[in-house]
C-alpha cells in the first residue's frame, strides 16, 4: 500500500512516498508565500516503473489546490507533465516569463 506525507520545515521540505512502510520516492519542494516550487522528483530504483512519480505529482497538485498555491515546476519531470497536459494543470501552474 502506498501513502504520501508532506514534510515541510520553515520553507523547504519534501513530499515523501512510502510503499509498504519503506520510503520509495520523494519530491524536493519549497513554499514561499503562495508559490510552491518543485525542484526534483526521485523514485528509488527498485520502485521504478510502478507509476510512483505520477502518485507524487498528483499529491503535489492536490496539495497546491488545497492550499491555494501556484507551482513553479523547476523539476524536469513535473515541467514535462505540465507541458504535456496543460488543461489538467493550468489552474496551479505558475508560468514565469
Within-domain flag for 60: yes
**What pLDDT score does 2 carry?**
86
pTM score of the predicted model: 0.92
Is 71 a domain residue?
yes
The 10 Å Cβ neighbour count of residue 60 is 26
Q: Domain for residue 26, yes or no?
A: yes
In a domain, 17, yes or no: yes
Spatial neighbors of 76 by CB under 8 A, at least 6 apart, are none
The answer to the question of residue 22 being in a domain is yes
Q: Measured between alpha carbons, how far is residue 30 from residues 24, 54, 60 in Å?
A: 20, 19, 11
33: domain CATH number? 3.40.630.30
Look up the domain containing 44 and give its range: 1-86
List of residues 6+ apart from 40 with CB closer than 8 A = 27, 28, 75
Give the list of residues 6+ apart from residue 47 with CB closer than 8 angstroms, or none: 19, 24, 25
pLDDT tens digit sequence for 14-44: 999 999 989 999 999 999 999 999 999 999 9
Could you tell me if residue 16 is inside a domain?
A: yes
Instruction: Tell me how many domains the chain contains.
Output: 1
Amino acid at each position: 500500500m502506498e501513502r504520501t506525507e508532506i514534510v515541510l520545515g520553515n520553507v523547504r521540505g519534501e513530499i515523501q512516498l512510502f510503499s509498504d512502510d519503506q520510503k520509495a520516492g520523494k519530491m524536493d519542494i519549497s513554499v514561499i508565500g503562495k508559490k510552491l516550487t518543485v525542484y526534483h522528483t526521485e523514485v528509488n530504483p527498485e520502485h521504478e516503473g510502478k507509476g510512483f512519480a505520477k502518485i507524487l505529482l498528483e499529491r503535489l497538485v492536490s496539495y497546491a489546490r488545497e492550499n491555494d498555491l501556484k507551482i513553479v515546476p523547476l523539476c524536469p519531470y513535473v515541467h514535462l507533465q505540465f507541458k504535456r497536459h496543460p488543461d489538467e494543470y493550468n489552474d496551479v501552474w505558475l508560468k514565469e516569463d
